């Protein structure tokens, strides 16, 4: 009996030691890489819809220019302006939803930071409340079919209760693990909702409409300069170049959506692997592979959007 109790005590001590152990350098580096990936990824969904809006506006200008009646042209331009504003509102909604990831990224960086700032507890509480506020706001937009879970601020409040500015590294890292565990549901739900939204038939129709309408609008513009308008000068070469550039950009929309969807799924998988490595001591190989692939996909997205960003 005595030996049994001793064995039981040893197991408990080992379990307690494991749960309170500090994070390894590799784990800390993985959390940092994931946080940076969140920051990088968060801009691209809204960029996709901003690009769709911009193509729609610019190809619409070709059609407006084809109208000979001044009143009709003004009305068409007013309609273009209204539609463009509405399209940008959709892009802004996606931007708001991905601010959740940026806020979560900020919380992670605070939790594993070596900086012993006395204000860290206040910062963590602020970040937690910001997360909940963002989630509540995104839920009110009805952008996604499933509501996102609220409650991250509770963990931040616990951090302050522990006196985060005075935490020992061991306790700090233990709370980081707890925070990541609690946030996983939010990350998985957000990414799943985002991917479902991007794959929605309405988005497919929106993209295909731009591909189809651009040549038709440019043809209307060209025809307006022929026929009865025989005294007009030939269509400037600049407009031909603009059409070809828009044709290229509209053709890339489907690929852009695919790249963003792939990166989103990879980000969710990386977070799940991060949680498993922290909670169950799972080897870091799978996590590192996922993070490296995610970073490669984000670098590809950055390159893909480099020219587009300069045009928007």
Question: What are the sequence ranges of the domains in the chain?
Answer: 25-88+111-311
pLDDT, averaged across the chain: 84
**Helix orientation angle between 253-279 and 237-251, rounded to the nearest 10 degrees:** 40
Confidence of residue 11 (pLDDT cuts 50, 70, 90): very low
Please give the Cα distance from 110 to 96 (Å, whole number): 22
Q: How much is the pLDDT for 232?
A: 60
36-40, 148-152, 162-166, 263-267: segment of lowest average pLDDT: 162-166
19: pLDDT strictly greater than 70: no
pLDDT at residue 163 tops 80: no
**pLDDT at position 176:** 82
Looking at residue 155, the DSSP 8-state letter turns out to be H
Confidence band for 165, pLDDT divided at 50, 70 and 90: low
The pair of structure tokens assigned to 238 is: 């600049």
301 and 260 in contact (C-beta within 8 Å)?
Answer: yes
Q: Using the predicted structure, report yes or no on whether residue 30 has a pLDDT greater than 70.
A: yes
Closest CA to 102 of 83, 125, 137, 127: 127
- Whether the Cβ atoms of residue 249 and residue 308 lie closer than 8 Å to each other: yes
Query: Given a cut of 50, is residue 4 above it in pLDDT?
Result: no
With pLDDT > 70 as the criterion, what percentage of the chain qualifies?
A: 81
Residue 16 pLDDT > 50:
no
Inter-residue contact 80 to 57 (CB < 8 Å): yes
Read off the pLDDT band of 121 (50, 70, 90).
Answer: low
- Model confidence at 113: pLDDT above 90: no
Mean pLDDT of 287-299: 94
């Amino acid at each position: 009996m005595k030996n049994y109790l001793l064995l039981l005590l040893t197991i408990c001590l080992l379990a307690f030691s494991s749960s309170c152990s500090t994070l390894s350098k590799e784990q800390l580096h993985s959390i940092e890489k994931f946080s940076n990936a969140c920051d990088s990824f968060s801009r691209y969904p809204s960029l996709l819809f901003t690009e769709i809006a911009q193509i729609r506006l610019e190809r619409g200008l070709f059609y407006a220019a084809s109208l000979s009646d001044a009143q009709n042209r003004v009305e068409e331009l007013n309609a273009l302006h209204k539609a463009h504003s509405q399209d940008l509102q959709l892009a802004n909604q996606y931007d708001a939803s991905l601010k959740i990831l940026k806020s979560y990224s900020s919380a992670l960086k605070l939790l594993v930071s070596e900086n012993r700032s006395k204000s860290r507890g206040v910062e963590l509480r602020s970040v937690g409340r910001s997360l909940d506020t963002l989630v509540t706001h995104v839920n009110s937009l009805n952008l996604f079919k499933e509501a996102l879970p609220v409650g991250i601020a509770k963990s931040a409040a616990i951090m302050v209760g522990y006196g985060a500015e005075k935490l020992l590294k061991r306790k700090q890292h233990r709370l980081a693990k707890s925070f990541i565990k609690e946030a996983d549901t939010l990350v998985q739900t957000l990414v799943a909702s985002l991917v479902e939204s991007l794959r929605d038939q309405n988005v497919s129709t929106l993209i295909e409409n731009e591909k189809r309408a651009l040549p038709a609008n440019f043809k209307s513009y060209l025809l307006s300069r022929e026929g009865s308008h025989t005294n007009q000068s030939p269509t400037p070469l600049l407009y031909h170049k603009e059409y070809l550039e828009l044709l290229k950009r509209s053709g890339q929309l489907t690929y852009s959506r695919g790249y963003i969807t792939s990166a989103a799924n990879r980000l969710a998988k990386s977070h799940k692997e991060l949680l498993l490595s922290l909670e169950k001591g799972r080897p870091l190989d799978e996590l590192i592979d996922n993070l490296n692939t995610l970073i490669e996909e984000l670098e590809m997205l950055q390159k893909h959007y480099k020219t587009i960003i300069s045009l928007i």
